[in-house]
Structure 1
Amino acid sequence: MTGPTAMAVVIPAHEEEELIGACLDSIRAAVAAARSVISRVSVHVALDACTDATARIVQEAGADLVVPTARGVGAARDAGVAAALAAHARTPLRRLWIAHTDADSVVPMNWLTHQWQLASAGADVVVGTVRPDFRDLSAAQTTAWWATHVPGTANGHVHGANLGTRASTLVAAGGFEPVLEHEDVLLVAETRARGARVAASDAAWVQTSGRPVGRTAGGYAGYLRERLIPLALSRAAYAPTA
C-alpha cells in the first residue's frame, strides 16, 4: 500500500508552559527525521483555555497556534484536527496522516517515521505506548509500573499522547467528541466499530508526565495515582518498594 503523502501533528495544551517547550523540541527532531520518507509535515497546537505562557512558547517555536471556541481536551483535539485538514486541503484524506500527542509529552525521533511505516503497511489507526517520566514517580510507583509492563510489547491501551490516525478514518468516525477526558478511547472504539485496521506498537513509545495531578480528574495521572499500585499488587511478581 502506498504511504501517506502528508502528515500533521496535533497537540492540545492547557497551561503547559513548563513542559511544552520540550514537547515541541522533540517533535521538531521527529519531523526532521521524517523528511527521509515525507516532505510535508505540519504541527498544530490547540490551546485549551490557557492563561500562562503556552501560546508565546508555541509561537516562538513556529508551530501553528489554534484557539478552540469550546473548552476541554476533546474540543481542543478536534480544533487541531480541523486546522490540520485546512492546512492540507489539497491532500486526499486517505493520503493524510495525523499524529496525536500531548503537550506534557516527549516523542522519540522515530515517532513519525514509524507511524508512516505502519500506515504504509495498511494501518488506519496506530495505538502507541507511553512511559511516565520516572522522575515524577515514587519508588513504589516505579516498581509497580515495571511489574505491569513488558518493554517491547504493545499492551493496546489507548493514549492520546501516542496515537496516529488516517484522516479519512478520523473524519468518518466523526472526530473527537467534545468531552473532558477519554476522547481518545472513544475515538478508537468508534474507528474499530467501523472496521478500521488498528495497529498497536511499542516501537516508538512516548514519554509523558508522571505528575500526580493531571489536567483532568482521571486520565493518565489518575491511573498512576489510584490504579497502578493496586494493579501491580494483584500480580504475584510485584514486590512493593518502601
Structure 2
Amino acid sequence: MRRVIVASPNTTNAITRTLERVKGFFSTSRQGSMGCDQSGMHYDWQTGVPLMLPHPIDSVIIAVPARNEQALITSCLQSIRRACDHAQTALGTRCPPLLLIVVADGCVDRTVELARAQPGVRVIEQPPSGVGAARRAAIAVALRAVTGPPSRAWIINTDADSHVEPNWIVEHLRHADEGADVLIGTVRPEFDDLSQDQVTAWQASHHRGQPNGHIHGANLGVRASTYLEVGGFTAMSEHEDVDLVGRARQCGYAIAVTDSTEVVTSGRQVGRTPGGYARYLREDLRLLSTSLT
C-alpha cells in the first residue's frame, strides 16, 4: 500500500492565500505564540505556518447517484451499511455521524423502492439530469444537515452499481485525519462480468500496493470545505469526478492516492454515459487483452 500526496504548480498560491487569511486574523488578535482561526486550524502567529493538521472529521456524507439500478442498488447499499457498521465498531464513540443519500436520477424502474427499503438511507428523486447534477444534489442536501464547519465534514462518493469494502469509511477517515483534502481510491471491475482475457489484462496492468491515481467517482473522497471552495461537482454528463479533482489540484489542495480500500464496480460494457468506465472496459481493456495474446 502506498499513499501519495500530489502537489500542483499552484501550491504556492494556495499557501499565500492561507498566510494572508491567517495574517488578517492575527493582526487583531495575538495571544501567546499560537492562535486558532474560525476553521479550527492552529497557526504560529508570527509565521502563519500551521502547527497541526485539521481537526478530526465529525461528519461523513456518503453520496450515491443512481439511474435505473434496480439490479444492483440493494447490494450497493448493503455493502455501505456493512462499512458503516464496521466504522461504528472500530471507532466506537469517535465515529462521526454517517449520512447516506441516494439521488435517483430519472429512474423509471424499482430503484427508488429498493433504496427506500434499506435502513438509514435517504432517497431523493429528480428528473434525469446526469451524474454530475445527481452527485451535486446529494451533497447539497447533506451539507444542509451538517452543523459543524465544512473543514470537519468528509464527503465520500460511490456509484449505485458498485460495492465497497468493510474498511471503506474507516480508511477514508484515516486519510482525512492525516491531512488529505481529496482521496482518490482505486476501483476494479467485477471480474465475473469480464472475459478471461479481459481479467488477465486487468491484472497485468494493475498491481496491489501501487495505486495508479486514476480518478473514479465510485471511490472518491473530498473535504467539504475543499469541495465548496472549488465549486463542487458541475452538471456534467460524465467526467465530473476528473473535473472536480482537477480544480482541487490547480488550487494546491493535498491529494492522496490509495488502494487500501478498493471499490468493486460493475463490469458492464454498456454504461449510463458514452465515455465512462463501461467504454474503458469495452474498448481500452479489450484492446489491451488483444495485445497480450
Q: TM-score range by the shorter chain?
A: over 0.9
Partner of 1:131: 188
Instruction: Name segments (4+ residues, structure 1) moved above 2 Å.
Output: 67-70, 229-234
For 1:9, the aligned partner's letter is I
Pairwise CA distance, 1:67: 2.4
1:146-165 aligned within 5 A: 146-165=203-222
CA offsets, 1:161-184, max 9 Å, x none?
000000000011111110110000
CA offsets, 1:114-164, max 9 Å, x none?
010000000000000011100000111111111111112110000000000
Check if 1:115 corresponds to 2:172: yes
User: Which residue of 101, 106, 114 corresponds with 1:49?
Assistant: 106
Structure 2 CA distance for aligned equivalents of residues 29 and 77 of structure 1 = 22
Whether the 8 Å CA contact 1:68–1:75 is kept in 2: the answer is no
User: Which residue of 77, 87, 103 corresponds with 2:135?
Assistant: 77
Secondary structure at 1:143's aligned position in 2?
Answer: helix
Number of positions where the alignment pairs a residue of Structure 1 with one of Structure 2 = 235
RMSD of aligned residue pairs (Cα, Å) = 1.3
Structure 2 CA distance for aligned equivalents of residues 198 and 78 of structure 1 = 20
Whether the 8 Å CA contact 2:107–2:128 is kept in 1: the answer is no
Pairwise CA distance, 1:39: 3.2
Check if 1:13 corresponds to 2:60: no
Partner of 1:96: 153
For 2:280, the aligned partner's letter is Y
Secondary structure at 1:82's aligned position in 2?
Answer: helix
Aligned-pair identity in percent equals 46
User: Which residue of 189, 192, 199 corresponds with 1:142?
Assistant: 199
Q: Structure 2: 5+ residue runs without aligned partners?
A: 1-52
Whether the 8 Å CA contact 1:3–1:117 is kept in 2: the answer is no
Partner of 1:105: 162
CA offsets, 1:65-111, max 9 Å, x none?
122356100000000010110121x1210000010000000000000
Partner of 2:76: 23
Q: Structure 1: 5+ residue runs without aligned partners?
A: none
TM-score by length of 2: 0.78
Structure 2 CA distance for aligned equivalents of residues 152 and 214 of structure 1 = 28
Partner of 1:218: 275
Partner of 1:167: 224
Structure 2 CA distance for aligned equivalents of residues 233 and 54 of structure 1 = 36
1:159-238 aligned within 5 A: 159-231=216-288, 238=292
Check if 1:87 corresponds to 2:145: yes
Whether the 8 Å CA contact 1:127–1:158 is kept in 2: the answer is yes
TM-score by length of 1: 0.94
Structure 2 CA distance for aligned equivalents of residues 232 and 201 of structure 1 = 25
CA offsets, 1:2-28, max 9 Å, x none?
320110100000000000100000000
